[in-house]
Structures are given as C-alpha cells and as structure tokens.
Structure 1
C-alpha cells in the first residue's frame, strides 16, 4: 500500500494508492499522522473510498510533521571511508528538527552565506508502533509503518566546524529534509534497495542498502534501548558514498537541481534557492 499527501503546505489531503488508482482518505483520517499510523493505517476495501481529486500541483511530504527525526551517521561502509572515518562500532545518532521536513518537489533554501550545503539520499523508515527496549532486531521490524525516500540535506561547515561537538546545527536548517513522494508499506518493499542521486543531471550516488553497516531492524532495536520511538517518527538510516563532502564534487549553489531516488519508493526533484 502507498500513501501520498497532496495540497499546499498545512492543507495536504491524505491519499491512498491501490491498484494504480488514487483514493481520497479524508473521510477515514484527517492526515497521514501518528494516530492513523498507530491504528495500522487503512485496512478496508479501497473501492469503498472516493477517487482522489488530483488537481493539486504540489506533493507534500507523505507523513504529517513527525514528532522526531532521528538520523544515523556514517552507516554505509564506503561513505565512512570517503568521510575519512573508520566504520562505527555502533550506530551514530543525531537529530534534525522536525520542521525541516518538506515535500519531495519543494525548493531547498540555502542558509545565508552557506558555501558547503550537501545532498544525501537516504532510506527513511517511519515508525508505526511505539518501540521501547525491544528484545531483538527481528521484533523491531514489527514496528515499521513504511519506507520513504529522504534527502538529509547538510551544511558541512555548520556540521563539522561550528558544531560544538555534535552535528545537528548542520542538519536542521529550514527545508533540509525533502521527503517522499510515497510512504510505502513494508509488504511492498524488498531489499536490497538501490539508492541514487544526481545534481543538474550528473550522477552522484549509486549504491544499495547492502552496503549498510547496521540494517533497519538493528537500528530500530538499538535506538529503542535509548529513546522511545513513537508512531510517525522518522529515522534517516544513512547515506551512501558520493556526496560533496568527499571532495569529488562541488557543493550546492542557487539554481542547482538535486534529484534523489530509491527503487520502488519514488524520486524527488528539488531546486536549490537562496
């Protein structure tokens, strides 16, 4: 099953995709939010729903504003190497502000004076059931509502040189987490997944989740030992090699077009603006 949100910011309508047809979920839930996901999502017959009015030109993030955005650093072996770091012995956790989440075709705004803004295609995982002190990575997978394409935009000067010892300053600027277009339920997602990114049509990242150091089940299990994961929370699970931080590519500037894609989950296109 696939969920989508259409409409202007703050007024998105919840949409279900089934069998290639879009259905309006507004009579079932006001939004693709924590309460809807905690209830198990839509479990009825899609044919009982009215067809969606798809005249909106904007696709919103496929989930309403999450309570938390938890991010995993250096979780792909090749990316850890290009960052000049040894692979971590346990997951590196940092947070992004939830208000960074925007639609998959919304503009990415450069912070004033920024010269080191970077792209990062990531597999996003949305929590569907409260997870605390889980017993195993296998149990953790029962707590997933779905998967989503996420772009963990990062300002590297803020992240590394003005960090004060943590990374969130470089991750939490306005518009720094394009998300979507779809939230895809686990039954429709197989692994490994191919992740790719482009800047101005030129290839940047091309890898698969097989290069992840800690897989999705391990990450959810591990995080649940330190914090309570709640329905609607978003976990960004790390990015593959091929970012500007590697030194192989220039950082983003106004007018650049960033595209990111994960097979089976969809594609984003964001224009960088000031």
Structure 2
C-alpha cells in the first residue's frame, strides 16, 4: 500500500481535513517517541506502508527506557535490551535509522536541551512529515498520556515552530551547517480522540505491526491481550474513518505547519 492509498483526512464529523495523500507527497519522515515501543504502538502500520512505498523514515526515541519492564532480572541490562528491541522492531517495518537521545525514562521535560536535539535532527533530515506524540492529555484513556508522552509532544511542537525555521535559534546549529528549515506537516498521535482529523488505512500491515510489537518482549506480561487490544483499536479506528468492514486504521491529528498560504510569524 502506497501512502497515496491511505484514508483521507477527516474530522469527527467526516469533514475533509488538511492532508490529501493524492496531492501531498511524502518522501522523508522523522518519527519521535518518548520510549522504545511507543512508535510501534502508535504509528508502525503507517510507517510500514510508507517504507514499502520507498519513503525514508527515521525513528528518534527520546528516553532510554530504563523504567520499563516487569522482570527484576532485566534491570541491570534493561537499557541495552530495549535499544535492541527497538532496532529489531524498526527493521521489521523498514526503518534502519534509529536515534536515541538518552534522556532518563520518567524524567523527560520540554526543555531547550531537548528542543535543540529535535531541531538538530529535523534540520539534518529535512523531512516532509514529523511524527510526535500528542501534547494534550487524553482523559478517556490516561495511559496514553504518560508524562513523558506529553513532554515528547510538547518539545517537538515547540521545536518545529519557531525554532526549526528561525536561523537565529540555536545559532550553533546554523554554524555547523544545519540551516533553518520550514517543516510542511506535523502529525501527532496518541492524543485525545476529539483531535483526530486523519486516518491511514493500514489493513495490509497489521501483522507487520503486531510482529514489531512482539519484539518488545520485555514490555508485555500478556502478549495475547496486547495483540487483541491493538487489533481491536485499529478496527475501531477504521470504522470511525468509514473504511470497509474488516479494515484497520491508525489515527492522527495532522497539523499544517507551513503551506503556500503561510506567512512567516503568523
């Protein structure tokens, strides 16, 4: 499935949203997650569809995942284990570039240090789309709103405007040859359902997504329950999107950062 075959953007009312896969070509993507496995839960079906169509995708994991897991015997090696799990899961969905920022799990904040790291990577890759966790809390399912998730979304959102496109923000980056860059699209995931305005049809990549999630074995005390929950949620998203019965989808809050009508500073 090519990106052009994803479901069109729509809000809760079904009204057309800002992103039209028929018109907006995606060539490069940077996807941010707070922890190893966040991207696999939230966006790996969409990523698998993109990479199958030749899109270059970079993963960036903000924390080292040291507070995750359930087995006491894993504690000494949990960071290395989770890095390896994430690299393996990424490879299954066609991602070879995995960046780890190394912040402490549970302590992530939208500081200028984190924002600078985001700006540096995005300026280096110069993607069409940045994916990030949603900065707004989901009161319907608060587990989606881990404080690190909210911090990931807030840091990335602050970074892509205005610092990313301001040549005088973090001037050491411009001095190193990383010039200011105007990002076209910010796609937020794992947010409040009322913010959803875009769905991607990932029906052909459900098993790939599940296989990627299964690699994060340190995080799943009940693999069968995890799998059923993920499949069920994707089927529900497809119903909300108006896709055919039996389809599966992932959902996003798509934000147009820069478009032909954008005026600098407004």
TM-score normalised by structure 2 residue count: 0.30
Normalized per residue, which structure has more helix?
2
